[in-house]
Amino acid sequence: MASKAGEPGTGPFEAKTDEFVVKDPEAFGLNMARMLEQIGKAAAAWVAPREKGDFVDGGPVQISEVVQTLSRVSEYWMTDPARAMEAQTNLFASYMTIWNNSIRRLAGEMPDHPVEASKGDKRFADADWNENLFFDFVKQTYLLTTRWADDLVERAEGLDPHTRQKAAFYVRQISNALAPSNFVMTNPELYRETVASNGENLVKGMRMFAEDMAAGHGNLKLRQADYTKYQVGRDMAVTPGKVVAENELCQIIQYAPQTETVFRRPLMIVPPWINKFYILDLNPEKSLIGWLVQQGVTVFVVSWVNPDERHAGKDWQSYIEEGIRFGLDTVEKATGEKEVNAVGYCVGGTLLGASLAYLKAKGDERIRSTTFLTTQIDFTHAGDLKVFVDETQLKSLEKAMDQKGYLEGSQMATAFNLLRSGDLIWPYFVNNYLRGKEPLPFDLLYWNADSTRMPKANHLFYLRNCYHENRLSRGRMEIGGIRLDLSKVTMPIYNLATKEDHIAPARSVFTGCRAFGSKVDFVLTGSGHIAGVVNPPAKNKYQFWTGPAPKDVGSYEDWLLAASQTPGSWWGHWLEWLTPQLGERVEARKPGGKTLKAIEDAPGRYVTVKS
């Protein structure tokens, strides 16, 4: 029952003080000492490589870069006293509104909040964020301050688009890091758990923190799943097949047929080298590769090496010649077929797109159709990954890669996690290190943590020519002395984007369709970069949209208005499109055929090498 004004101590915002009082001070004090011991071990793991003079990867974001960028925003506000006073006055006036509302609630009133958490914000799901006056005040102050900071960036004049994008990104990272849900004293759920367990949760959490700091060799290697439950080749990447060819850059896998007859024209998949190919063969229920084989498609996959110092000079021409072209040669030797359907996923698709123009210029037209999965060809709308790419950062990255000749896989993994730090970093930080709970087994997050390195020449070419200068779609990219002209690529193309993609935004994928000479079949599917692609029909999840060719409509928004929605997976729609490209049925082929001798069982040893 709501309290009346002047009757303190009752009402909906009364603090449940018994839940926030330590019951056993002695046990609590002992656990605090044990927690500090684990923090000391973590600090030692951080210091050790630095004392030894070992190279420690600094991560994708440098503090100096953050300070320099945000200084540009502060310059706009601080150089005009009236403007600065206006911004400060607005902030403090909002604080006073929160304070006055808190006083009114003590009196039993229920005034409206000046700011509300976004719908679905799991950080503030606990009832005490609203019912407890202290935590409600903290939450309101945080939400108001972060939105005020976002507004400062948005309203700052004179910023170039790249600087504004960087500033907005950095402010979002700072806001996510400083959320009251990330601290024991300002998170009611964490506070209650800490009191109930006399701090045992913090002892367990800091033990994991120390282990993860040691595992990261001086940087925190945040665990997102229980990795001990999985093994590549045993629990995932289990579709039967053979490695039928290999060189120093990749292995070529041919999968064993599961039907008596197969389509004549084989299909070759070019996965990203930033991650490992088995996302497309995660387990029998989710495997796109397994599903294709069951439909009678002869599937080959390029399995990239996890590079080291020996591969520092491998550039895009190397990856095309020793990867894609080597794969085409292998397909021809194993099946006798010269014509191939190709699939490229993410950056593997970008490389494949470049190779189409490169190979055509060399008179090699064995690829007769191409499917792109969440692939950017044009990088105008490439999203927040562009934050990490400008001339200053490229020079810094090049200098860092000189040390070993490659970029540590952890850097790219961290960059991807930062794009969605509110989902992929801080919830795990809280659950692991503050609640002291081991993460659950999750095959997708195991794959996500199984990172790969990037050779210096390859990675710098990619960042500069695609993200920084956007050369491929403009016909200005050169590989091996050949100027790549995608307008001369006229083969059938199926281009899949995902609606909630934070790595290859759908608008970016759509824009890239127009670079080709053919009318591309553009398809949009629900969910994001991974779940939208790995969506088997049996799950009956999400939906997909089909519409006119991008060249026949004005903008991405125009395409959305003209598109029609179909529930379920896009896989069946793609197979209908692909079937005319596959040819007639022939007798099933064993891996390697009569020409190539199998080297080892799929998934091969290259994919099992850890960074």
Rounded-to-integer distance, Cα 463 and Cα 469, Å: 8
Distances (CA, A) of 100 to 19, 97, 113: 26, 5, 11
Residue among 598, 596, 580, 591 nearest 264 (CA) = 580
CA dihedral sign, ordered 557, 559, 565, 568? negative
Q: How many helices (H) and strands (E) does the chain have?
A: 21, 17
> Do the beta carbons of residue 410 and residue 219 sit within 8 Å?
yes
Choose the catalytic residue: 250, 346, 466, 513: 346
Q: State the DSSP H helix or E strand holding residue 293, giving kind and residue range, or none if neither.
A: helix 288-294
DSSP-based helix, strand, coil % in the chain, nearest 5:
50, 10, 40
Rounded-to-integer distance, Cα 228 and Cα 311, Å: 30
- Total Cβ atoms within 10 A of residue 148: 16
- Total Cβ atoms within 10 A of residue 582: 20
Whether 466 sits among the annotated catalytic residues: the reply is no
Distances (CA, A) of 367 to 6, 226, 228, 552: 80, 41, 40, 25
Residue among 541, 543, 563 nearest 552 (CA) = 563
Rounded-to-integer distance, Cα 28 and Cα 202, Å: 10
> Do the beta carbons of residue 326 and residue 292 sit within 8 Å?
no
Length of the chain counted residue by residue? 611
Rounded-to-integer distance, Cα 169 and Cα 153, Å: 10
What is the DSSP track for 296-312? T--EEEEEE----GGGT
Q: Which residues are the active-site residues? A: 346
